[in-house]
Amino acid sequence: MTDGSVGGSVGGLFGGFFDGFDVRWVDVADGVRLRVRVGGQGPAVVLLHGHPRTHTTWHRVAGKLVAAGFSVVCPDLRGYGRSSAPPPQEDHAQASKRAMAADVVRLMDILGHERFAVVGHDRGSYVAQRTAMDYPQRATHLAALDSVPLGEALARADARFASLWWHWFFFAQPEKPERAIGADPESWYGCGPAKQALMGPENYADFLAAIHTPAVVRAMLEDYRAGLGVDRAADDDDRAAGRRVQCPTLVLWSTRDDMELLYGDVLEVWRPWTTELFGAPVESGHHMAEEAPDALAALIVTHLRR
């Protein structure tokens, strides 16, 4: 394994686009090299993005956590952004949340963090949950944003879920979603000036580069294919065995997303999966790290200080 650093950082008040952070490239598994941004000193927290974002989605939050006294680690998940991924397997296990969680733990080993908090949004929340579940001795805190456990979502799936989250099932089909997205990535993901203004120019440029890279698009789809198979099986095994997340867990959901529409009391869905649960809605659309960074950072800091 190697741990190299490319680029550099300048000191400052952490107010701009990852001011004070370093970019590193870290080999965490055979065929998997992660692009990672690291900054700050203090207790460690790793921030895991969702689909179809990259780690740069955290650019308005990461510096606030550093200013609050934390070491912050923001990787591109395997296959996303500029991180690499091994070739697809028949069961898609190379894109499993268990494999991604192992990446996170290996990354934090290399960076010298024995214990750390893990925060995930969207698809990254499933990786965060799996990290806390599989490595209870390593995870100090869990925060899951805009999600319920993946196996729980599928067990509760009904016509409303299929109507709102139809993409889960389309993305799991062979070849067709690659063709559909590849034909016009910017149209598929609703790109344009409004999205750029919402995301910020650097974050938007990183996202654009990702969705225009066919290997990244395939790897992102493999994430969903794993979700309907090996990931669901892992959650089902945990539920059957009565395993729960052992660290304090924060669940946040966006008021202008569909979590309450689908599940009503989001915390009640999470309660059987946790031992110590906290949660609240956040006034935001789905991408709360971009749309409500001040509120989100404050809630995360409060949680990490429990």
Q: 115, 17, 111: which is closest to 59 by C-alpha? A: 17
Per-residue confidence band for 81, with pLDDT thresholds at 50, 70 and 90: very high
Max alpha carbon distance in the chain (Å)?
Answer: 51
Q: What is the mean pLDDT of residues 172-186?
A: 98
Q: What's the pLDDT tens digit per position in 183-214?
A: 999 999 999 999 999 999 999 999 999 999 99
Confidence band for 179, pLDDT divided at 50, 70 and 90: very high
The answer on pLDDT for 258 being more than 90 is: yes
Residue 7 confidence (pLDDT) above 70 = no
Average pLDDT over residues 36-61: 98
The percentage of residues in the chain with a pLDDT greater than 70, rounded to a whole number, is 95
pLDDT band at 13 (very low <50, low <70, confident <90, very high): very low
Q: What percent of the chain has pLDDT over 90?
A: 95
Instruction: List the beta bridge partners of residue 253.
Output: 281
- Out of 3, 19, 258, 286, pick the active-site residue: 286
121 given a catalytic annotation: no
Dihedral sign (CA 163, 164, 168, 171): positive
Taking the C-alpha atoms of residue 74 and residue 49, their distance in angstroms, rounded to an integer, is 8
Does the pLDDT at position 154 exceed 60? yes
What integer pLDDT is reported at residue 281 of this predicted model? 98
Is the pLDDT at 1 greater than 60, yes or no? no
157 phi, psi to nearest 5 deg: -60, 130
Q: What is the CATH number of the domain that holds 299?
A: 3.40.50.1820
pLDDT at 15: 61
Look at residues 234, 176, 219 and name the one whose alpha carbon lies nearest to residue 88: 219
What does the block give as tokens for 106?
Answer: 């290996």
Q: Report pLDDT for 6.
A: 29
Average pLDDT over every residue of 255-279: 97
Look at residue 93 and tell me whether its pLDDT is greater than 80. Answer: yes
The whole-number pLDDT of residue 5 equals: 31
At 97-116, the pLDDT tens digits run 999 999 999 999 999 999 99
Nearest to 14 by CA among 58, 75, 76: 58
Number of residues assigned to the chain: 306
Q: What is the tally of structural domains in the chain?
A: 1
* Residue with tokens 């969207």, as numbered in its chain: 122
Q: What is the pTM of this model?
A: 0.95
Catalytic residue among 103, 122, 134, 238: 122
Whether 49 and 80 have beta carbons less than 8 Å apart is answered as yes
Q: What is the mean pLDDT of residues 57-67?
A: 98
Task: Let me know: does 12 contact 37? Beta carbons within 8 Å.
Answer: no
- Can 122 be counted among the known catalytic residues? yes
Q: What is the pLDDT of residue 116?
A: 99
Mean pLDDT of 44-60: 98
Residue with tokens 């990490």: 304
pLDDT at 83: 98
- Domain boundaries, position 110: 3-304
| For range 263-274, the mean pLDDT | 98
Average pLDDT, the chain: 95
Question: For the purposes of burial, counting CB atoms within 10 Å of the CB of 111, is it exposed (0-12), middle (13-18) or buried (19 or more)?
Answer: middle
55-76 average pLDDT score: 98
